[in-house]
């Protein structure tokens, strides 16, 4: 199962549509995960129009109609991999432990808010993941998202992708671990 993971798209403030490369990655995915700050209802409608399972939470700047339509947190079952979703995972210090406590029955947690790509893995495999932002990179050098592959209840791979021009894998030195 191929999973497109994104967050903090901030449309329409950061553009009229999602970048072409984001659309291409979503098109080839089996599932879409969005960790909040879609911002407007049109973006939510666009993601649902792909006709794929969509797991999403609302963020802190989503319009009221989006916030009413999406939960603050959720858990997605991705072919046997349990994935918690939340927009704001709080301060960096202690984040992994807080997310483990808030989502005790998951394999990992996807969050957004900071726009900083991050993949932190604990010794037992529990992980937290921030895909960065596909449309609002702020102080990051590239726009980014993640493509995960899940097979038979196992997370096989997590790949950060730069989704600006030129697209491609995000240099691992730009991802905080």
How many CA atoms lie less than 13 Å away from 135 in the CB half-sphere?
A: 23
Structure confidence by residue, pLDDT tens digits, 22-81 = 999 999 999 999 999 998 999 999 999 999 999 999 999 999 999 999 999 999 999 999
| 39 dihedral zone (left: phi>0; alpha: psi -120 to 50; beta) | left
* CA-wise closest residue to 31 among 70, 79, 103, 68: 79
Report the run of H or E that residue 45 belongs to, with start and end. Answer: helix 41-49
Given this model, what pLDDT does residue 176 score?
55
* CA-wise closest residue to 81 among 25, 125, 26: 125
Distance CA 161, CA 172 (A): 10
Lowest mean pLDDT among 12-16, 70-74, 140-144, 173-177: 173-177
The residue that leads in pLDDT, 136 or 119, is 119
pLDDT band at 146 (very low <50, low <70, confident <90, very high): very high
Domain that includes residue 35, residue range: 2-174
Which residue(s) pair with 2 in the sheet? 149
* CA-wise closest residue to 38 among 28, 26, 46, 29: 46
Given this model, what pLDDT does residue 8 score?
94
pLDDT band at 142 (very low <50, low <70, confident <90, very high): confident
Structural domain count of the chain: 1
Cβ neighbors of 131 (< 8 A, separation 6 or more) are 5, 6, 7, 35, 110, 112, 117, 144, 145, 146, 160
We report the CATH number of the domain holding residue 97 as 3.60.21.10
């Amino acid at each position: 199962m191929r999973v497109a993971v994104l967050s903090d798209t901030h449309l329409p403030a950061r553009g009229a549509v999602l970048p072409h490369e984001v659309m291409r990655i979503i098109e080839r995915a089996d599932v879409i995960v969005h960790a909040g700050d879609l911002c407007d209802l049109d973006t939510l409608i666009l993601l649902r129009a792909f006709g794929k399972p969509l797991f999403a939470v609302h963020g802190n700047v989503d319009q009221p109609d989006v916030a009413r339509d999406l939960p603050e947190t959720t858990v997605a079952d991705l072919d046997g991999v349990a994935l918690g979703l939340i927009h704001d995972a709080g301060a960096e210090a202690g984040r992994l432990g807080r997310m483990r406590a808030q989502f005790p029955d998951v394999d990992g947690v996807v969050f957004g808010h900071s726009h900083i790509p991050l993949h932190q893995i604990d010794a037992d495999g529990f992980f937290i993941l921030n895909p960065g932002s596909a449309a609002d990179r702020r102080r990051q050098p590239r726009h980014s998202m993640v493509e995960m592959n899940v097979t038979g209840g196992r997370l096989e791979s997590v790949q950060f992708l730069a989704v600006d021009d030129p697209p491609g894998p995000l240099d691992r030195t730009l991802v905080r671990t």
